Structure 1
Amino acid sequence: MFGNKKEIEELNQKILELEAQNKDLKYELDSYKWQMEEINKQEEEIRQLHQNTRKLKHDMRNHLMVMTSYINSGDYENARNYISEILDKLNAVRSYVETGNPLLNHILNDKLEVCRQEGIDVKADIGKASFEKMKGIDFSAVFSNAVDNAIEASRTEARKEIGISVYEKKGYDVISVKNRISKSVLDENPELKSTKADSEKHGFGVNQIKEIVESYSGMTDFYEEDGFFIVNMFIPK
């Protein structure tokens, strides 16, 4: 018989440890691959934005010539209509927010574009916060889920308004996301459990947010104030 009971137990323990290490390494590798993909997406978005800006600048000269022609000929009605069309095109051009954090840049700009398309008013206040201890894939999960929940909830509200804040406070990196509500979410669902009735209102992703934040010894806070549902996430620096 190969080995005694103690040796077999030690071998089994070693196997479990190696499997755990392999799982951690795979997670790290997947995280780095995902971050690289996100950075590549961001670079492509910036390239496309610059290309659109150059095209707009080139077209503007022609637009000014057309408007000048209308005005010189006294055709003010067509001049006004032409200006209105140009303004509509300018409003449709996607702006780009630069935060200094490549991953946050990509996620935030992606969510801002969704809000713009759906007519949701967004106020973003991005301060200094490094989130150095968080893996990119975890940061993306908590930030994206919190904003996605706010977007989902806003779709059924008459006043579509979201606030996004990122800042440092007393040794913590903080993410705060809020959305306007017409009635209490916590009164109806104090534990924010996902059900068929409310799966589109703060159910999706809440447990994932809590688990990830707590894995970094952080804290989450869900509350309502001044007509807003608010989620705060505190990650130790």
Structure 2
Amino acid sequence: MQIFYETVELLGCLLSYLFTLYTSYIFFNYKSTLYKRISLLLSVVYTPLAYDLIIPFSNTIVSLLAMFFVYIVICICFNGNFLIKAFIVLVYNIFSVCISNLYFSLFSVIFHVSINELIAGRNALRSCLILSLYLFEIILLFAISKIIKRNATAHYNVLELSITFLFLLIDFVFAIFSFLILFYYPNSVSIVKIVCCSISILCVICALISIYLIKKLNEHYLHNIDNIAIKIQLDNMVEYIKNTQNSNSEIRALRHDMKNKLLAYNSLLQNDNIDDVICDIKETLSLPSLNEPLSYCTNTPFNILIFNKAQIAKGYGIPFNCKAIISPQYTNLKLMVALSNLIDNAIEHELTEPKEYRNIKLSLIQDINSINIILENYISNSILTRNPTLSTTKFDTIQHGFGINNIRTLINSINGIVEFYEENSSFFVQIII
């Protein structure tokens, strides 16, 4: 049994290291996937370093050595300021100590025993209590990470988070149940102690696996976003090629008509019918000119996107005005997905407005430090008053666009902000990156 208890102590050291990395990940980003793997592999160095039976020093010195080692790992593997990293390591350790003291004090009060009786020596009771403590810390850290990163790249809905927290809570209840069995039946046979400790260990492992799986679901979602972005870009390119081919056909037809007209002019001039030629020229000049641009900006992907949306809008009789200044080298698929969906939303709304008031304006300006996008469309009645959260009313959001919440997620994932406001019978969407 002693080997089993020492294994639990080693597992506790390992979890403490992983929790510190997870805390750092809440506030910083890994430099690369390689550094992430290195930080995980270095756990084989930290675990024996923090294990009090291997390092022949007092607990205080062992804790300080472990903190310094974790700080070095975080400095090497994460981006960010060194002083802030030191502050994060210090705050986490204070947090961990405080939570541990509160946790043990709570159990001491509930069961009317001293803290020393709960955690003295290596035994099954201590093992279950420590494992339940780590489960409690997992729940707290997961909750903190979701609160702090609620506007970051992660995409979770309330149901997903509720299920995850429920799963973690059930794990915690099982771990506490194992502790209660050992507390009220301290003279249980060894097999009971092993089973109870094993249940606690499995609860911790299941909790870590559940967090890992929901992280993978988020990565899968973001991967789907990238696939959708590429699909939209390909669809836009196909439409652009079709429009270009139609334009080329029209140009060839125009050249043919011009040739015939010039031949007619030549014949009339040879017969001294100058007045007829002048009259026909004046009639041609009186025709309304076509002001539709073929190019909105020098950035090919964004030009294709804007051109196609302008064609769709004008096909519905909606005036579409655009001013775009953006570097030819700039690429951002997620921004294109968001902009494409926002323009689709604007076109869809304008179809509900009277024809004489329909209008869409797009401004896309890039300067040295940022990109500022303003999309404006006419509204006869306030949208924000009727639907402040701009929640979608469509059942199939895949076939009918992302919806505003997903657009916010996309913009937040590229470190941008998006705002919606109304002014003078116009609805505005502003994106700043």
Distance, in Å, in 1 between the alignment partners of 2:214 and 2:402 is 33
- What is the aligned counterpart of 1:219 among 417, 422, 430? 417
The residue number in structure 2 matching 1:140 is 336
170-179 vs 32-41, which moves further: 32-41
Q: What is the CA-CA distance between 1:193 and the residue it aligns to? A: 2.0
| 1:142 counterpart letter in structure 2 | A
Residues 319 and 359 in structure 2, CA contact (< 8 A), matched pair in contact too: yes
Q: For residue 357 of structure 2, give the secondary structure of its aligned residue in structure 1.
A: coil
Q: Are 1:161 and 2:326 counterparts?
A: no
| 1:118 counterpart letter in structure 2 | Y
The residue number in structure 2 matching 1:175 is 373
Distance, in Å, in 2 between the alignment partners of 1:146 and 1:22 is 24
Q: Tell me: CA distance 1:171–1:73, structure 2 relative to 1, closer, same or farther (3 Å).
A: closer
Q: Tell me: CA distance 1:154–1:57, structure 2 relative to 1, closer, same or farther (3 Å).
A: same
Q: Are 1:117 and 2:322 counterparts?
A: no
Give 1 or 2: higher strand fraction.
Answer: 1
Q: What is the CA-CA distance between 1:19 and the residue it aligns to? A: 6.3
**Greater relative contact order (CA < 8 Å, ≥ 6 in sequence):** 1
Q: Are 1:57 and 2:251 counterparts?
A: no
Residues 324 and 364 in structure 2, CA contact (< 8 A), matched pair in contact too: yes
Residues 229 and 337 in structure 2, CA contact (< 8 A), matched pair in contact too: no
- What is the aligned counterpart of 1:206 among 379, 385, 404? 404
| 1:126 counterpart letter in structure 2 | A
Q: What is the CA-CA distance between 1:49 and the residue it aligns to? A: 2.2
1:1-237 equivalence runs, <5 A: 23=220, 35=233, 38-39=236-237, 41-63=239-261, 72=273, 87=287, 91=290, 95-128=293-326, 132=330, 134=332, 136=333, 138-155=334-351, 156-157=353-354, 158-168=356-366, 171-195=369-393, 205-235=403-433
Q: What is the CA-CA distance between 1:165 and the residue it aligns to? A: 0.7
Distance, in Å, in 2 between the alignment partners of 1:25 and 1:120 is 34
Q: Tell me: CA distance 1:28–1:143, structure 2 relative to 1, closer, same or farther (3 Å).
A: closer
Q: For residue 320 of structure 2, give the secondary structure of its aligned residue in structure 1.
A: strand
Distance, in Å, in 2 between the alignment partners of 1:175 and 1:95 is 20
Distance, in Å, in 1 between the alignment partners of 2:224 and 2:344 is 27
| 1:149 counterpart letter in structure 2 | N
Q: Tell me: CA distance 1:123–1:22, structure 2 relative to 1, closer, same or farther (3 Å).
A: closer
| 2:349 counterpart letter in structure 1 | A
Q: For residue 99 of structure 1, give the secondary structure of its aligned residue in structure 2.
A: coil
| 1:123 counterpart letter in structure 2 | N
Q: Tell me: CA distance 1:191–1:170, structure 2 relative to 1, closer, same or farther (3 Å).
A: farther
| 2:253 counterpart letter in structure 1 | K
Q: For residue 222 of structure 1, give the secondary structure of its aligned residue in structure 2.
A: strand
Residues 149 and 204 in structure 1, CA contact (< 8 A), matched pair in contact too: no
Give 1 or 2: higher helix fraction.
Answer: 2
Equivalenced residues, count: 220
Q: Tell me: CA distance 1:26–1:211, structure 2 relative to 1, closer, same or farther (3 Å).
A: closer
165-174 vs 32-41, which moves further: 32-41
* Aligned residues: CA RMSD: 4.4
Q: For residue 326 of structure 2, give the secondary structure of its aligned residue in structure 1.
A: coil
Pair member with larger Rg: 2
Q: Tell me: CA distance 1:17–1:229, structure 2 relative to 1, closer, same or farther (3 Å).
A: closer
| 2:311 counterpart letter in structure 1 | E
Q: What is the CA-CA distance between 1:50 and the residue it aligns to? A: 2.9
Gaps in structure 2 of 5+ consecutive residues? 1-197
| 2:301 counterpart letter in structure 1 | L
